[in-house]
Structure 1
Amino acid sequence: MAIPKNLQEFNSTLIREEPDESWPVALKGLWFAAKGDWQSAHDLIDGAKEEMSSWIHAHLHREEGDEWNAAYWYRLAQRPVPKISLQEERNQLINIVLEQTLL
């Protein structure tokens, strides 16, 4: 399965059992988060080192309700704690990861 070209294509993959193995870790983590599998998303992202993974990690802790831990990861990602909804932030993250992956 190819990397989705946009958010709509990404969302259409959510009917599958697993994300494509060839996808980057950030995209797989967001896929599990979109499926409501917080633990799998966190397990993937927790070991990643790049700035985008820190932002996704922050988002996951924000979703969990752990504001202190989320704020820590937002600082590592050099991002402010967002004022938008979790869904809006997740869509933003997916769009950015897709854009970076398809370059």
Structure 2
Amino acid sequence: MSCDHTRALALAKAGQWDAAHELVQPYGDRNACLIHAYLHRVEGDSSNARYWYRQAGETMPANTLEEELERLADAIADQA
């Protein structure tokens, strides 16, 4: 079974942090790590967010949360 990245982002956009986090937490693929990182940014846990961005091979971006959510959604849509 694989992570439903689109669903995780929809949950995040709807403000359902716990549900989105629970969905991505078991997975270690790049997109799940990026979503996980974003969720920790939303939570205000920058240290944990940086960890998950590193797991995805990226550094934490200097964009807004709204911009990051859009970036992730666009990237995942492009992969579909």
**Which letter maps to 1:75?**
R
What is the match of residue 29 of structure 1? 8
What is the match of residue 55 of structure 2? 76
CA distance in 1, matches of 2:44, 2:38: 10
% identical aligned pairs: 37
Structure 2 runs not aligned, ≥5 long: none
Radius of gyration: which is bigger? Answer: 1
Paired residues, number: 78
What is the match of residue 75 of structure 2? 96
**Which letter maps to 2:33?**
S
Q: TM-score, normalised by structure 1?
A: 0.73
CA distance in 2, matches of 1:79, 1:49: 14
- Per-residue displacement from partner, 1:51-78 (whole Å, max 9, x unpaired)? 1110110010011000111111011011
Deviation (angstroms), 1:49: 2.0
**Which letter maps to 1:88?**
E
Deviation (angstroms), 1:92: 0.5
- Segments ≥4 residues shifted beyond 2 Å: none
Q: TM-score, normalised by structure 2?
A: 0.93
Q: CA RMSD in A?
A: 0.9
- Per-residue displacement from partner, 1:32-60 (whole Å, max 9, x unpaired)? 00000000000001012211110110010
What is the match of residue 18 of structure 1? none
Q: Match for 1:65 among 23, 37, 44? A: 44
